[in-house]
């Protein structure tokens, strides 16, 4: 009986080398043990495109707060990591399927044969090549959708940071007014208490003053707590430690958007607003996925060379073909799912577009109403200020009693707080409208993900 030469077959060594070279390496990356929060504004990423970094030693403007939030928000950093995942999926979708190598080795036990039998087959999935371009397109559009969604979240973060800044500034003014009012009421209550102690007043006179001080003190305490929560929310958006209080420029201004400009912006929303662009890209990706599912109805085809060396040393070589029979499945379920998903995305896009247009009109109507209320409140404040000034002069001249004077001053401060509240609502509404329409916010720049090499 003839015997095969000892040692490993060079073809086997070559195949083993190829398989080992194709394996990816992996290195452990430990998680951080401490939160990555900055201890000051100076420690944040303060860079600006085509401009000097944002100064950390002066109060921040509204625009600078928004930029710092977009660059330093921990949630946005985590969201941007999804872009790497989406691009990796593009690579995965564009890679050719690996070949399948199968072999057999049968040891000769008995009979007239002279050698052991060897067989080898190398096959590749031909069917997957049919839907390769559709799957690539679907993954590419999906990666661009992630980019657009990231920009939309940046818009939301900028808007939230600017709204918090406005609220912090306006509520700071309101807290100052509340403390002024409380100080006046406390002085009035102290006067009443002295009057009761001296027998010049009754408890019936003191009770309303004490009740007013208690009520206002409760209101002030709640406002202080709410203000502290706003600071903590702003710190979280900026990636700062929760006890940091960055300096804010109190001269806040948000440009008004006219009805004509808003109407023009609404018409162009599908080409500018990131969430709508993301839905369009998701729909395009879904259409490509549906096309890939339709192409997947072709019978599964495996093709490749086949080599055989039987026990009689008869060698053979020829093609090996394996084809699926589309009798039961025919990929009909996948096609139905992809088609239904496409209709769902269409309905979602139409609903989002309608909501955006309706939301813009509603904000414009609310702003018109609030602007009118603010004008009336300012007129009332001017009158209250004149009455309070006249009351102070009359008190000094002994023409009115202290209670009447206190009531007029408190009325002025209450009207002042009404104006502050309406100004805050108008500024918040303008910020929300600018975000909804994309006024002054970063545009969507989509990059086409790189396609992998076929080799």
d(CA 265, CA 349): 18
Q: Are 159 and 435 in contact (CB under 8 A)?
A: yes
Rounded to whole angstroms, what are the CA distances from 162 to 28, 84, 87, 174, 237?
A: 39, 29, 32, 18, 11
Per-residue confidence at 454, pLDDT binned at 50, 70, 90?
A: very low
Whether the CB-CB separation of 370 and 425 falls below 8 Å is answered with yes
Q: Tell me what pLDDT residue 452 has.
A: 52
For residue 163, pLDDT over 60 is answered with yes
Mean pLDDT of the chain: 87
- State the residue for tokens 């951080």: 32
Residue 243's domain spans which residues?
Answer: 47-95+131-296+331-437
- Please report whether residue 257 resides in a domain: yes
Answer whether residue 185 is part of any domain.
yes
- Buried b vs exposed e over 241-274: b needs ≥16 C-beta within 10 Å? eeebebebeeebebeebeeeebeebbeebeeebb
H or E segment and range at residue 14: helix 10-21
Bridge-based pairing state of the strands 100-106 and 117-125: antiparallel
Would you say residue 314 lies in a domain? Answer: no
Q: What is the C-alpha separation between 407 and 192, in angstroms, rounded?
A: 14
Residue-level pLDDT at 20: 56
Q: Do the domain assignments include residue 101?
A: no
- Is 100 a domain residue? no
Region 56-61: what's the mean pLDDT? Answer: 93
Angle among Cα 25, 30, 35 to the nearest 5 degrees reads 145
Residue 309 within a domain: no
Which helix (H) or strand (E) segment is 431 a member of? helix 402-437
For residues 46 and 52, give the distance between their C-alpha atoms in angstroms, rounded to a whole number: 9
Predicted pLDDT at 7: 44
- What are the φ and ψ backbone dihedral angles of 302, each rounded to 5 degrees? -115, 130
Question: Taking Cα atoms as reference points, which of 219, 255, 227, 105 lies closest to residue 169?
Answer: 227
For residue 256, the domain's CATH number is: 1.20.1600.10
The pLDDT of residue 29: 78
Residue whose C-alpha is closest to residue 289's, from 447, 146, 131, 149: 131
List CB contacts of 146: < 8 A, sequence separation 6 or more.
Answer: 82, 83, 85, 86, 278
Return the higher-pLDDT residue of 265 and 95.
265
Specify which residues 106 forms β-bridges with: 117
pLDDT tens string 297-354: 888 888 888 888 888 888 888 888 888 888 888 888 889 999 999 999 999 999 999 9
CA–CA distance, 320 with 122 (Å, rounded to integer): 8
Half-sphere exposure of 298 (CA within 13 A, CB side): 13
Domains in the chain, number = 1
Q: What is the structure's pLDDT at 448?
A: 63
Please report whether residue 447 resides in a domain.
no
With respect to residue 416, please indicate whether it lies within any of the assigned structural domains: yes
In eight-state DSSP terms, residue 42 is G
Q: What is the mean pLDDT of residues 427-441?
A: 92
Least confident of 110-114, 178-182, 199-203, 212-216: 199-203
Strands of the sheet containing 100-106, edge to edge, are 100-106, 117-125, 301-309, 315-323
Apex 396 CA angle, 395 and 397, nearest 5: 90
Q: Of 57, 17, 63, 52, give the one whose Cα is nearest residue 41.
A: 57
What predicted TM-score, i.e. pTM, was given to this entire model?
0.83
């Amino acid at each position: 009986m003839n015997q095969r030469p000892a040692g490993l077959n060079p073809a086997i060594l070559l195949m083993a080398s190829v398989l080992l070279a194709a394996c990816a390496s992996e290195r452990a990356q430990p998680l951080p043990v401490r939160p990555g929060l900055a201890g000051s504004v100076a420690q944040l990423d303060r860079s600006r495109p085509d401009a000097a970094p944002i100064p950390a030693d002066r109060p921040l403007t509204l625009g600078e707060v928004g930029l710092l939030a977009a660059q330093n928000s921990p949630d946005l950093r985590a969201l941007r990591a999804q872009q790497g995942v989406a691009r990796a999926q593009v690579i995965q979708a564009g890679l050719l399927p690996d070949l399948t190598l199968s072999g057999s080795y049968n040891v000769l036990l008995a009979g007239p044969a002279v050698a052991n039998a060897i067989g080898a087959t190398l096959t590749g999935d031909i069917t997957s090549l049919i839907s390769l371009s559709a799957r690539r397109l679907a993954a590419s559009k999906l990666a661009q959708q992630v980019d657009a969604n990231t920009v939309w979240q940046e818009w939301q973060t900028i808007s939230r940071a600017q709204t918090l800044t406005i609220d912090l500034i306006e509520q700071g003014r309101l807290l100052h007014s509340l403390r002024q009012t409380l100080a006046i009421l406390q002085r009035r209550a102290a006067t009443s208490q002295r009057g009761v102690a001296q027998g010049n007043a009754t408890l019936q006179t003191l009770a309303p003053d004490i009740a007013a001080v208690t009520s206002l003190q409760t209101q002030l305490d709640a406002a202080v707590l709410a203000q502290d929560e706003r600071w903590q929310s702003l710190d979280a958006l900026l990636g700062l430690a929760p006890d940091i209080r960055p300096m804010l420029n109190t001269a806040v201004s948000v440009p008004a958007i006219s009805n004509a400009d808003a109407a023009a912006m609404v018409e162009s929303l599908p080409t500018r607003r990131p969430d709508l662009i993301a839905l369009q890209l998701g729909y395009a990706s879904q259409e490509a996925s549906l096309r890939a599912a339709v192409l997947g109805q072709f019978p599964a085809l495996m093709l490749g060379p086949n080599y055989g060396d039987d026990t009689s040393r008869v060698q053979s070589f020829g093609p090996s073909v394996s084809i699926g029979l589309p009798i039961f499945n025919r990929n009909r379920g996948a096609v139905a799912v992809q088609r239904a998903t496409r209709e769902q995305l269409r309905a979602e896009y139409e609903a989002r577009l309608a909501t955006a247009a309706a939301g813009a009109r509603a904000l414009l109507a609310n702003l018109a109403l609030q602007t009118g209320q603010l004008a009336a409140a300012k007129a009332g404040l001017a009158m209250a200020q004149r009455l309070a000034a006249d009351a102070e002069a009359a008190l000094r001249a002994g023409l009115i009693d202290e209670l009447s004077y206190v009531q007029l001053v408190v009325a002025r401060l209450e009207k002042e707080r009404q104006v502050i509240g309406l100004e805050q609502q108008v500024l918040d509404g303008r910020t929300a409208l600018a975000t909804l329409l994309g006024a002054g916010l970063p545009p969507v720049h989509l990059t086409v993900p790189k396609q992998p090499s076929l080799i």
